[in-house]
Amino acid sequence: MRWRSRVCWRSVLAMFAPAKLRPRITSLPFSDSVASASSFCCCSSFDRSRSVMFVSPVKCARRESVLFDGSNRSRRYSRAGALPAQLAWVEKTDLEVARVASSETRPWWRQRWLTIAAGYSFAFLSGMAVAAWAKRSGGWQHGTQWERSLMTAWHVHLPAWLDALIYASPWLGTNITLIPGVLAGVWWLWARAKRPHLAMRLLIVQLGSYILNPALKDLYGRPRPDLFPHRGWYGWSSFPSGHAIASIAVLFTVAAILHRERGWTWTYWLLVPVSLLSLYSRIYLGVHWPIDVLAGVIVGIVWFLMTSLAFRDESARERAG
């Protein structure tokens, strides 16, 4: 019976150990096998992206002292008395393997919905915080003194070609251009690149930006600036700037995906001036107060960071697989 237990423990330990250590483990004495088993059970951790087990020698030494000296340092386990610890290790290892396997097969929306919901809430609350600060500073309806001065200073006469470029730049952040572009990107990531989680990330970023903008606009209903005549129809409220939210969240998500898939670092350098031009156009055309643009930038940054955090593990697993 004792010989069978030794063979069983060596087999179980060799099954969970790396391939390079298996010949050494099967040749260990029984007491060394028990010590190695306790080290592996208490100090190992699974890397889900590669399914490899790592061991920390420092943590192993500490844990072995607890197992073989007793939790209260009152009694010592002999070779035969270490059997309860061995059985506990088997049970704990089985539970850990079952938990990892269940999480691997769990759909993405069960793993990431909480982070996505928290990201949407944080983005919405960040917009509310900027609105509360703007209301306390005064001039919510007709703009503060520094906002009116800044808009007057930025509304200067520019060359005709630059004026036309600024006037056309807002189209980059409208739903007329973003929705078809995002749908095309989702199709390419899902069908051609075989990256479904990146496709869902891009789609969720677009949907979140599309919902955050009208939700905050309907909540506050700030009037648009009346310093200059508007070139175009802008009938909705001013706070926050939907172009700013889309320019930061959606465009930088596209840049992050291209950088990850193709290694294109220049996408960031290209989108930074494009985003700045779109933000400047909101004030230059006189359709948004500066606080509206600031709120849109903050909301877009929070939403972009939270969605990146939600899909970080899935992207790493796809690259490894």
Eight-state DSSP code of residue 223: P
For residues 225 and 289, the answer to whether their CB atoms sit within 8 Å is yes
Q: Which residue has the tokens 């031009």?
A: 277
Which tokens sit at 14? 């060799």
3-state SS assignment for residue 44: strand
pTM above 0.85, yes or no: no
Q: What angle do CA 134, 140, 145 make, to 5 degrees?
A: 85
Look at the alpha carbons of 12, 16, 22, 28 in this order and tell me if their dihedral is positive or negative: negative
- DSSP per-residue letters across 46-106: EETTTTEEEE-HHHHHHHHHHHHH-TTSS----TTTTHHHHHHHHHHHHHHHHHHHHHHHS
Q: Which residue has the tokens 């891009």?
A: 202
**Which helix (H) or strand (E) segment is 198 a member of?**
helix 196-220
Residue 50 carries which side chain, given as an amino acid letter? R
pLDDT at position 47:
40
Dist. CA 87–CA 80, nearest whole Å: 12
Dist. CA 130–CA 212, nearest whole Å: 14
Dist. CA 199–CA 73, nearest whole Å: 55
Eight-state DSSP code of residue 191: I
List the pLDDT tens digit at each of the 321 positions of the chain: 444 444 454 555 555 555 555 555 455 554 444 444 444 444 444 343 333 333 333 334 334 333 434 444 444 444 444 455 555 555 555 555 555 444 444 555 566 788 889 999 999 999 999 999 988 888 888 888 888 888 888 877 777 887 788 777 766 666 677 888 889 989 988 988 888 888 999 999 999 998 999 899 989 888 888 887 776 666 678 899 988 898 899 989 998 888 888 888 888 888 888 888 888 888 888 888 999 999 999 999 999 999 998 887 665 555 555
3-state SS assignment for residue 45: strand
pLDDT at position 1:
47
Beta bridge partners of 54: 45
Beta bridge partners of 55: 44
